[in-house]
Structure 1
Amino acid sequence: MLRISQTNGEIKRLIETAEMAWFEVFYSADTNKVIYVNGREYYRLPLRFSTKAKVLAYFRQYWGITMSSLMFRNLITVTKNGRLYVVAGDTGPLPIFPRQVTVTSRTDTRIRVTAALSIVPESDDEILMVRYVISKSGTRLIILNRNQKEMMP
């Protein structure tokens, strides 16, 4: 769990870790454990992501309920014999690395941020501007919303 933070560097790290969460699940699939459903190839996820509940719990470390559910739907999964499988494929390059973070407003419970996301961690080429709403709850920061939902994998 990430603690409540106020620095741009810590918010930047939260965004990068949260953006990587979907890829962590997707690319953890075992390409040697394959099933076919309706002509599509699916790879089995490891035990730590073997059920919808486990994947959602992982996403919820960084994302709110609505965003976690959206990310799960974007995985395109099937269940067979109690195990979760993810559709085979390549996401291609996507801007997920925050190059710059600007806090646009703060309250006791919310931080609004605009981030410049890049495809490559060390490059400012192909930048996508994304707005986030981050909740401060107890000792945690959770991303509640992201304005570029359609750009997510």
Structure 2
Amino acid sequence: MKMKHGWIYLLLLSILVTGCNASNTSQGKKNEKTATSQSKKNEKTAKTQSKATKQKRPARSVAIQKLDDSKMNIVIFLNRAEHVVEDVYYAAIDHTKGKTAHEDGITYLELPKRFDSKDKVIAYFSKFWSRSLSEALYDNLSTKQIKNKLYVAIPNVDYPVLISVRNTAVEKLNSEIRVSVQNVTDPAFSSDRTLRYQLMRDDKTKRYEIKSRMGTYGNDQFQ
């Protein structure tokens, strides 16, 4: 009889031990699953925050970089630089949904989103010109702020230029590029038809930008 009861006790003890182990194993798996789920959630949150931060960070406009390769690269760069103001004017003309304002006999055209603030216009100019020259270019525009929208008046004066590999001389130094352009415009437009540029690398971006533009033709745009 005692032997029979002994087997019963051993059986009950075995069941209790097995149940405890199963419970501990189940709880362990549950905890592990919860930890994994929380880890994935934290990782997803971190990625979302990182993406949001990148989207909020404003894009920095920088000057062109590869000008050392050939004279043609420099010619293309200077031609683009000399037409940045016309790019802004054309953007206003081409802005089909833009409004028109009239004041003191002057017509102002609304600029599209890419040029709808002073900072954006100067940032575009700064792709080619130094900060000081970019600001001077902007200050010589005829602009008006209307209901938080930037408008520009298109003048009746322009400065057509001819910059080609045929009339351009380039001198490359260690930290700068000096460019001289002869016969940059028609004799009927100016008696002084020579322009000289000094291109230097920006300290932060290490990209070239125009630090100075010497010559009387079109110089009033920078004064």
TM-score, normalising length: structure 1: 0.81
Partner residue of 1:2? 64
The structure with the largest helix share of the pair is 2
Identity of aligned residues (%): 25
Task: Please tell me whether the aligned partners of residues 12 and 98 of structure 1 are also in contact (alpha carbons under 8 angstroms).
Answer: yes
SS for the counterpart of 1:98 is coil
AA in 2 matched with 1:34: T
How large is the RMSD of aligned CA atoms in angstroms? 2.6
Contact 1:4/1:136, CA 8 A, preserved across alignment: no
Q: How many residues align?
A: 147
1:150 and 1:70, CA in 2 relative to 1: closer, same or farther beyond 3 A? farther
Gaps of 5+ in 1: none
More RCO (CA 8 Å, sep 6+): 1
More strand by share: 1
**Structure 2 counterpart of 1:43, one-letter code:** L
**CA positional deviation for 1:41:** 1.7
Structure 1 CA distance, aligned partners of 2:144 and 2:181?
33
Shift of 1:148: 3.2
| Residue 35 in structure 1 maps to residue 89 in structure 2 | no
- Identify the residue that residue 95 of structure 1 maps to in structure 2: 160
Q: Which has the larger radius of gyration?
A: 2
Distance 1:150 1:118, change over 3 A: closer
What is aligned with 1:142? 209
Deviations 1:85-116 (A, max 9, x none): 11133334x2323032112x433221111113
Unaligned runs of 5+ in 2: 1-62
Q: Following superposition of structure 1 onto structure 2, how do residues 1-153 of structure 1 map, counting pairs within 5 Å?
A: 1-6=63-68, 7-30=70-93, 33-92=99-158, 94-99=159-164, 100-103=167-170, 105-116=171-182, 117-118=184-185, 128-137=193-202, 139-148=206-215, 151-152=218-219, 153=221
Letter in 2 for 1:18: A
